[in-house]
Chain A
């Protein structure tokens, strides 16, 4: 079974620009979560999508948004980039429903975003 894939793997953007990152979950998984990883703050939850609806949201500004498509693929968007947005952005997929082990999350390799 193929794992979680993320594209692109690396991105360099300039302050003020916007960026869109993509995530394809494991086949059959309906939940996609996004996390930001930085050396200072560690891994922080951004949001979760399940069946095309945002189900959970972390404490990030509105510049961070996401969506999920009917095939469970997800995108996240960051508008008006700031230097502090430089991070590894990880997405994770899970079944998301039906039993206590349906929340096992499997991570992709991440997209490393550098804002200059």
Chain B
């Protein structure tokens, strides 16, 4: 079983929809949680970075961390065709420095 599980999709939604992307993890020692967006043939782009439990909002994006359930989410409001990409969750230990453990990524398509 992988340390971080993520539904690979593909997930297809109409423009303007609210998108919910999720990851579960097994290692309770993870403290830092990130969401990356990756377009085809590009490197991952950091979207959200959160520490421990709680919510963080940035524009149309909201990241949610529930450490008691070992569950993290990314919500995208008013989704746009330009949001079509693969979304990767990643996490690291408190003292793990930069060793990120990634989910497999969820492919999202926002249709006109």
Contacts and interface: CB of A to CB of B under 8 A. Distances in A.
Interface residues of B, number: 23
Contacts, number: 66
Contacts of B101: 45
Task: State which size class the interface on A falls in.
Answer: 20 to 34
Nearest to A39: B104
A94 B102 CA distance: 17
A112 B92 CA distance: 25
Interface in A60-86: none
A48 B43 contact: no
16 contacts: A35-B100, A42-B102, A56-B98, A90-B43, A92-B98, A94-B98, A101-B49, A103-B98, A104-B46, A105-B46, A105-B98, A106-B46, A107-B43, A108-B43, A110-B42, A110-B43
Interface of B: 32, 34, 36, 42-46, 49, 51, 88, 90, 92, 96-105
